[in-house]
């Protein structure tokens, strides 16, 4: 399992294709990830849209809706939702540049985690590029608050994350995870954690046009204090691990890995994007840097 730590940008070697159902639309969608030139970033293309610009480059400003998922749009108002799990896989596996073609308005939910996206990228293979990897170095704390929820980015010489959640359901309760965000940790501790929801919210979500593709096949569903999935959970503290997975993807819309520490309490997509925008609006709080590999010392 190659760990890409040579401080250069990477793309994939060959195209990779996967298909599945959108968790909110319930529509079947086909997705193809293709290699891209150095410096081009992550660009989504709505191949079903042919009457206007269908390319949506990822950026903090491209996020237009963050209720229950992360949705991006371009100047022509072409939209694409639920990008966060694939973005999380890109971030953790060090994919800097890729074109993602999608023939519908939403990425497939697959099993509700990032595991299948990681498998997809592993099949495609990884190729280093000549351009040095840019990092976003946090220079001073940035903090956002919404009611009892809060999130922050703080200076750190590596990428760290602490996520805490607190739910009244005994099935979840209070959960905390604190870890270094790197490929190995993502593969072993984060990528398989599934999205989750509450049975009593499902009907209201469907009335609002959401969760039409949700099922026990792609989400952990809680009813009161019980987990409805026949197999139960995949891992200890799966709920907070998934929130961390989401946050990694939500922060990668910045276009580069972080050198900083993220801390979130009850943070979701909306608060994560608010934090991204606050960072971008505070130029003194960050800078772009590259890291040149240190020469091995003789003797």
Give residue 206's pLDDT.
Answer: 57
What number of residues does the chain have?
A: 299
**Model pLDDT, residue 210:** 56
Catalytic, 24? Answer no
CB-side exposure of 245: number of CA atoms within 13 Å? 30
pLDDT at 2: 42
Please tell me the distance from the alpha carbon of residue 28 to that of residue 239, in angstroms, as a whole number.
26
Per-residue pLDDT of the chain (299 residues; tens, 9 = 90+): 344 557 899 999 999 999 999 876 778 999 999 999 999 999 999 999 999 999 999 999 999 988 778 999 999 999 999 999 999 999 999 999 999 999 999 999 999 999 999 999 999 999 999 999 999 999 999 999 999 999 999 999 999 999 999 999 999 999 999 999 999 999 999 999 999 988 877 666 556 555 556 678 888 989 999 998 999 999 999 999 999 999 999 999 999 999 999 999 999 999 999 999 999 999 999 999 997 544 334 33
For residues 25 and 212, the answer to whether their CB atoms sit within 8 Å is: yes
Per-residue model confidence (pLDDT) at position 298: 39
Q: State the catalytic residue, choosing from 10, 24, 85, 269.
A: 269
- In this prediction, residue 205 carries a pLDDT of 59
DSSP 245: H
| Whole-number pLDDT of residue 209 | 58
Alpha-carbon distance values, 88 to 17, 28, 141, 183 (Å): 18, 22, 23, 11
Q: How far apart are CA 93 and CA 240, in angstroms?
A: 20
Q: Say if CB 165 and CB 243 are below 8 A apart.
A: yes
Candidates 269, 70, 42, 88; CA nearest to 183 is 88
Percentage helix, strand, coil, to 5, in the chain?
A: 25, 35, 45
């Amino acid at each position: 399992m190659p760990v890409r730590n040579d401080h250069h940008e990477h793309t994939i070697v060959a195209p990779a294709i996967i298909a599945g159902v959108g968790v909110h639309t319930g529509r079947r969608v086909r997705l193809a990830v293709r290699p891209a030139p150095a410096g081009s970033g992550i660009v989504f293309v709505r191949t079903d849209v042919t009457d206007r610009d269908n390319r949506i480059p990822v950026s903090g400003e491209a996020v237009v809706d963050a209720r229950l998922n992360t949705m991006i749009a371009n100047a022509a108002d072409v939209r694409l939702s639920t990008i966060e799990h694939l973005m999380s896989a890109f971030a953790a596996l060090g994919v800097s540049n890729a074109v993602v073609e999608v023939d519908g308005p939403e990425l497939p939910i697959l099993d509700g985690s990032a595991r299948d996206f990681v498998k997809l990228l592993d099949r495609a293979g990884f190729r280093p590029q000549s351009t040095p990897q840019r990092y976003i170095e946090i220079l001073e704390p940035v903090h956002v608050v919404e009611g009892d929820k809060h999130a922050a980015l703080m200076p750190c010489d590596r990428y760290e994350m602490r996520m805490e959640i607190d739910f009244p359901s005994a099935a979840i309760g209070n959960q905390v995870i604190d870890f270094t965000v790197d490929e190995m940790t993502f593969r072993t501790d984060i990528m398989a954690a599934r999205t989750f929801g509450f049975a009593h919210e499902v009907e209201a979500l469907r009335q609002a046009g959401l969760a039409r593709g949700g099922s026990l096949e792609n989400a952990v569903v809680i009813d009161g204090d019980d987990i409805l999935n026949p197999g139960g959970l995949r891992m200890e503290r799966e709920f907070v691990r998934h929130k961390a997975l989401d946050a990694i993807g939500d922060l990668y819309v910045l276009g580069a890995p972080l050198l900083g520490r993220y801390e979130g309490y009850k943070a979701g997509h909306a608060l994560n994007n608010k934090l991204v925008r606050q960072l971008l609006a505070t130029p003194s709080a960050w800078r772009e840097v590259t890291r040149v590999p240190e020469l091995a010392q003789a003797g």
